Amino acid sequence: MNISIIIPTYNRNEILCKTISNILSYKHQFNELIIVDQTKEHEPQTKFFLDNLINSNKIKYFFVDYPNLPNARNVGINNSTGDIIIFFDDDVEINKNTIPSHLSCFSEPEVGCVTGKVSIINTNKNQNIVLVSSGNTKKNIKTFLFFFLRKKVSYVGRFGVLSNFSSEKTLPADTCIGCNMSFRKDVLIECGLFDSNYTGNAVREDTDISVRVRKNGYKILYNPDASIIHFMDNTGGTRSGLNEDYWYMIFKNQCYFYLKNFNFSFFFIFLLHINDFTRCKKSKLKALPVFKKGYTEAKFLKENNK
């Protein structure tokens, strides 16, 4: 099977160059590396680095003039030649086993998606929007619930979305994780590709495609050997300040996911976000108006994209 690796990137420089160099060191394991760049202007060193790779045909490069992660993924898919599509973030490090371990799982014809272990290494967590806003309460709740869900690495349903991408066991999964996931290309096409209605931080775009993969009769498999290190760089990517816009996007994308895929009621979605309300208030924001704004936009999107 031919393998295409796709890296969407936005406002990343040094870490992007390191990620590309790392992946190209395993170029004998895949057929093409596609960079979908949404950055208007790179630092000179990064531009020089990318131009050299483009001119030497070591990467396929596509520029998109507006940031939208699901759309960038689709641009990569539509310009790929691989039977298997692997997505990595632009701030990761893979190892010699990562790509072969993704590929090995597709020997089972019913597997449509593979995801792997993610180890987060960030030397300045206090300056990271995602890590700062991930409270201990939610982490403890997940740990407790996974005691009863040990036969899966992730769960999507009435309890919301639970995930544990640090497991050491090969397990079935309800959802993959966007920084480290692979698909059969024909399955992605069958499922309608990624939904570009997930904007900003694009939370749940990976869960959304996962739900559609399973609804179409395919399995998602977690393989811990398909592992990466995720540096979660503090700038660029889908990062934004811990402000009203950040929380609006969190609520809008989450509400859209639950309305689109499960048609949950306003009250039920509200309950699923109680913990987020607490964290939102720590940002000195009134959580309910921000949530209502996000819900209203999500409902409009759902009703106009049937």
pLDDT digits (tens, 9 = 90+) for 270-292: 999 988 888 888 777 889 999 99
Write down the domain spans for the chain. Answer: 3-230, 244-303
Query: Which residues lie below 8 Å from residue 67, measured CB to CB, with a gap of 6+?
Result: 10, 38
Contact between 110 and 39 under an 8 Å Cβ cutoff? The reply is no
Pairing between β-strand 219-230 and β-strand 92-94 as defined by DSSP bridges: antiparallel
| pLDDT, mean of residues 246-260 | 95
Measure the CA–CA gap between 14 and 49, rounded to whole angstroms: 10
Contact between 175 and 211 under an 8 Å Cβ cutoff? The reply is yes
DSSP 8-class letter at 112: E
Indicate the range of 187-191, 212-216, 269-273 predicted with least confidence: 269-273
Q: Which two tokens stand for residue 27?
A: 């170029």
Contact between 68 and 196 under an 8 Å Cβ cutoff? The reply is yes
Q: How many CA atoms lie less than 13 Å away from 115 in the CB half-sphere? A: 26
| pLDDT, mean of residues 239-257 | 84
pLDDT digits (tens, 9 = 90+) for 26-76: 999 999 999 999 999 999 999 999 999 999 999 999 999 999 999 999 999
pLDDT digits (tens, 9 = 90+) for 88-142: 999 999 999 999 999 999 999 999 999 999 998 865 554 444 444 455 665 666 6
Fold category of 3-230 in CATH: Spore Coat Polysaccharide Biosynthesis Protein SpsA; Chain A (3.90.550)
DSSP 8-class letter at 125: G
Instruction: Identify the pLDDT of residue 238.
Output: 61
| pLDDT, mean of residues 149-167 | 86
Residue 196: pLDDT over 60: yes
Alpha helices in 230-273 (DSSP H): 244-262, 266-272
Q: What are the strands, taking DSSP E only, across 121-277?
A: 154-157, 160-163, 171-173, 180-184, 219-230
CA 143 to chain centre: 21
**Alpha carbon distances (Å) from 196 to 132, 187, 200, 304:** 26, 18, 10, 14
